[in-house]
Structure 1
């Protein structure tokens, strides 16, 4: 920003340009905010993918970051990642192959034979390997789910030596298939440019924000307003509301 301001000053026209706010706002109308449902949606401690029909929840105090191929999870007791896709073969071979790729040629990883279980009606397998690193002994656990005959999803978890899956047990046990109705209910958040009507207040408009928490704070930050700001009829403000998915 400082470099951009310096270059603007060099033109000799700083402050004399056209502020076409209405055109700018019209370009924002309908723009996606936060996650695209096509990549899954993070809502607080939960992740839901409407197309893959996946749901899971992370433990209290853990954070998630959604990427195009994986969901990263971090907290005080360890880190994890959720990923997967098409695979032909057994869950045991899938886990063994994944751990070999993670260890590479530099880390000696002792891996017990994976064990079988069922999670919410989904066949699953898991194991925990142990490795010595420069920062101490760590446990590397994999929990894999046979989602379909040719599809496997998994969690990879890294915790302190001796903890294994422990801190992530609620997470690995929370994964389930969502119903078609649950999938259909997941909609993207979009920008809605709203023209203030007589009598509307900051608090009233903030209550329309498509969030469970911090509605007022988000509305104020989005519009560069203060709690005591007075809105003028005809003034345009930005809201984040639920919209429709792209075709």
Structure 2
């Protein structure tokens, strides 16, 4: 109710701008400023390609793309805005996320598809994102941002961050946090849409439970304490326990004969789905970063956590040390590697102890510098390894009092770097979802050993198959296994 009263107050203050409208999904007044549905469509169309590119690109799997788009289109047709040019795209991204742009442009990450156990759970996620669009949540955020810009003194409140023109603000709004009330509203709308198609509304809560356990397990893998009670894809999402409880309450208001989940169909479709990092961006296998497309590999020291993107890899340690790896082009391949290091890459510093090396048959150069960073003083060792026009660039960062201690680990990483042969690169397979039909002699511990995950194999088996294992192992049932 709080959000309704805020909207009503805003409407009263800016009545002359005709900024209030009846929300098509909720039937309540909402403040959308001077933006219209046409503005939503324009902004969504403008930002959608950027969103897809920024978060992993389109997943190269025609059947899964068509499947998700077909499901989304069916849901959209029973929404309050069926005539939008809806689009649904699966991103090649392992993170547990989905995003909605105004105007009906929606993405869902490959990671969510690997976690879901049935079609109804995926429909619940798609319905939730459709709810953000039909409730015009982004338009509300944009309009509130405009008020801050045009009349924050008049209103006496801060409704959002500083806003530029509408288009620039909207460019960031779709990845900004929705309010807790908006998230809960989208959950409710998502359940409304899925039940219109006969799906089991309980699937919304079952997926949230799985998502919470997945988050806890990822935290434990990193040696952190999982906090299920505060899980969120973004930090402003509602407390998970509240979200699960509310979804269960909503589900009970619908007829009990709504039980469509399509589990077998769903599992058959995702058999072979990539799991975890995309092999196109390189994968980590027992602390070794392997990139078949670039034909190279190197080993990351133990106890370093990594973050991989299409352009760079960052590995960090709790003690403040870090490794940054990326690739550049050497336009003049006859330029000595030490000159490249000093005059092009690290030219704004006076590197010390510059020397030329050989790393597994490749020319290389290294040098060190001490600088001030946002996280304090750091020693940085630059390392450039050249092969033809490609320069493989490492920066090893350490707090000065740990530089000597970390030297040997970083040296091992340096000399672990090697190019792969074309045959080796072609033979590398990524991780993917496989199906196993439970037999008479199967056990949880036995099946867990087949999981190609780094550690906590049994826990990962249970999270990926939470609903299937709720009554223990059932002979003939299909389970998801991470294979390679």
TM-score (norm 1): 0.80
In 1, Cα distance between equivalents of 2:450 and 2:307? 25
SS of residue in 2 equivalent to 1:71? strand
Which residue is equivalent to 2:289?
Answer: 47
Q: How many residues align?
A: 234
SS of residue in 1 equivalent to 2:189? helix
1:130 corresponds, among 361, 365, 370, to 370
Two-structure CA RMSD over aligned residues (Å): 3.0
In 1, Cα distance between equivalents of 2:393 and 2:464? 37
Q: Identify, as 1 or 2, the structure richer in strand.
A: 1
2:380 corresponds, among 140, 147, 157, to 140
Is the 2:362–2:386 contact (alpha carbons within 8 Å) kept by the matching residues of 1?
A: yes
Gap regions ≥5 residues in structure 2 = 1-182, 196-200, 202-250, 252-257
SS of residue in 2 equivalent to 1:117? strand
Which residue is equivalent to 2:434?
Answer: 192
1:192/1:99 Cα in 2 relative to 1: closer, same or farther (>3 Å)?
same
Residues 157-194 of structure 1, C-alpha deviation per residue, up to 9 Å, x if partnerless? Answer: 22223738725222112212234554344211111233
2:340 maps to 1:94: yes
Which residue is equivalent to 2:413?
Answer: 171
Q: Identify, as 1 or 2, the structure richer in helix.
A: 2
1:11/1:182 Cα in 2 relative to 1: closer, same or farther (>3 Å)?
closer
61-70 vs 154-163, greater mean Cα deviation: 154-163
1:134/1:145 Cα in 2 relative to 1: closer, same or farther (>3 Å)?
closer
In 2, Cα distance between equivalents of 1:47 and 1:177? 12
Which residue is equivalent to 1:215?
Answer: 457
SS of residue in 2 equivalent to 1:32? coil
SS of residue in 2 equivalent to 1:194? strand
Which residue is equivalent to 2:325?
Answer: 82
Which residue is equivalent to 2:301?
Answer: 59
Higher relative contact order (CA 8 A, sep 6+): 1
1:194/1:87 Cα in 2 relative to 1: closer, same or farther (>3 Å)?
same
Residues 44-76 of structure 1, C-alpha deviation per residue, up to 9 Å, x if partnerless? Answer: 211112232212112221122221111111112
TM-score (norm 2): 0.43
Bigger Rg over Cα:
2
Structure 1 residue 5 displacement after superposition: 3.5
1:215/1:137 Cα in 2 relative to 1: closer, same or farther (>3 Å)?
closer
In 1, Cα distance between equivalents of 2:194 and 2:301? 55
